[in-house]
Amino acid sequence: MLIAFLVLILAPFCMGLLPAMAMPGEGSRGEENAREGKAGKRRTPVYICPFAVYLAGLLLALAVFQIYAVPVILLKVWGFPLIVKGYTLFLILGSAAGLAVGYPVLRGFAERAKRILSDKRRPCAKNCLYWIVAAGLVLFQIYMAYTRAFFDGDDAYYVAQSVIAQQSDVLYRMLPYTGLSTSLDIRHALAPLPIWEAYVARMTGIHPAIIAHSVLPLVLIPATYLLYFRIGAKLFRGDGKKTALFLILVSLLQIFGNTSIYTNATFFLMRTWQGKSLLCNLVLLSEVWILLNLWEERQDGGGKGGQAGWWLVLCAGHTTAALCTTMGAFLAGLLVAVTGLVWAVRERRPALLFPLAACCIPCMVYLVLFAALG
């Protein structure tokens, strides 16, 4: 479980420090403390929401896996050990780079924590009640997802592929239904989320089925609600009461959304570990969050620079969409294309389409690969 924490929580958070300093809208630059010594010897602390840092890092970590794993899958039949070694090295180097570059963000965390602890004002009891209810509903969903084992027929393919990779090192050259050898399954090979789950299983020593059904819901469900929290804070301009009510409403829709096997809520709580669920509930939602921040900063005049972090995370989101499912590359590109068209027409600035189109290049690469090799 300690290794699972390092791989799923700590490493993504450290990698999220890389784009954090260029993510306006998720924090503010603090004032340099006059007692810190001579100017220039210490960098100015920057406060960025730690949840935003983790979410950005999670997208980056998944995108790195997609970029590295797909060539290995296409070229090496028994390439899983190479994926394990190479991706672990990427996580270590990315985490170290994040800690080195994001030092001002870490200082910003420390200063903000000191201010919160020294604040003597009493919080509003009604707002606290709303937040307690919101947190309780989220914890209830996590508890139910962890303690109830939901049967799903797709596990016979996706979880079985994770087991095959973890136990035999073979990548998409065995039929999970029979165990017989087969040619490369290109449709699934270009969306290797089960191989990422096998990587987590190999690193932790936990069986891939347990990783999928028990461990990943503990990470992906809170991560999705962190996205809802950041979106709510953006939509309601930081109003804590409205944001808490927004989370309560979303939680109720998810809890009582199992009206069929195809609803978003059913995938979210009962098939959390599958690529289709991850795409709809985390990746596309993260792109809404990113586009809201890009839109707001453009409106506030912050679009002339300093947004590189958001553009990087948007590219990572597109790459992660391809990791989830081959259709994800098309859907993520379609979402940005429609949003960009509305954005450009509304602001009468066709030039906005060019950076958005550039962010769709990862989607195009995997779609072209699928067309060429499929």
The pLDDT profile of the chain, 374 residues, written as one tens digit per residue, is 899 999 999 999 999 999 998 888 776 443 333 333 334 444 677 888 999 999 999 999 999 999 999 999 999 999 999 999 999 999 999 999 999 998 889 888 888 888 877 877 777 888 899 999 999 999 999 999 999 877 788 889 999 999 999 999 999 999 999 888 888 888 899 999 999 999 999 999 999 999 999 999 999 999 999 999 999 999 998 899 999 999 999 999 999 999 988 888 999 999 999 999 999 999 999 999 999 998 876 665 554 446 889 999 999 999 999 999 989 999 999 999 999 999 889 888 888 889 999 999 999 999 999 988 87
H or E stretch covering 27: strand 27-29
Nearest 5 degrees, angle CA 284-CA 58-CA 261? 45
Residues 6+ apart with CB under 8 A from 240: 127, 130, 131
Domains in the chain, number: 1
- Contacts from 269-273 at CB under 8 Å and sequence distance 24+? 269/141, 269/144, 269/145, 269/221, 270/145, 270/150, 270/152, 271/150, 271/152, 271/154, 272/145, 272/216, 272/217, 272/220, 272/221, 273/158, 273/159, 273/197, 273/211, 273/212, 273/213, 273/216, 273/217, 273/220
Check: CB of residue 50 under 8 Å from CB of residue 223. Answer: no
Distance of CA 193 to the CA centre of its chain: 13
- Tell the burial category of 76 from Cβ atoms under 10 Å away from its Cβ (0-12, 13-18, 19+): middle
CB hemisphere CA count around 279 (13 angstroms): 22
Residue 169 exposure: Cα atoms within 13 Å on the Cβ side: 10
- CA neighbours closer than 13 Å in the CB half-sphere of residue 364: 8
User: pLDDT value at position 5?
Assistant: 94
pLDDT value at residue 58 = 97
* Residue spans of alpha helices (H) in the chain: 2-5, 11-20, 50-75, 80-101, 103-118, 125-147, 158-168, 186-189, 193-204, 208-210, 216-235, 240-255, 264-270, 275-278, 284-299, 308-324, 326-347, 353-359, 361-373
| Separation between Cα atoms, residue 368 and residue 361, nearest integer Å | 10
User: For residue 123, what is the DSSP state?
Assistant: P
Q: What angle do CA 182, 183, 185 make, to 5 degrees?
A: 105
21, two tokens: 């300093």
Q: Which domain holds residue 162?
A: 2-373
Q: Give the DSSP letter of residue 154.
A: G
The pLDDT assigned to 16 comes to 94
The pLDDT of residue 273 is 92
As to burial, measured by CB atoms within 10 angstroms (0-12 exposed, 13-18 middle, 19+ buried), residue 341 is middle
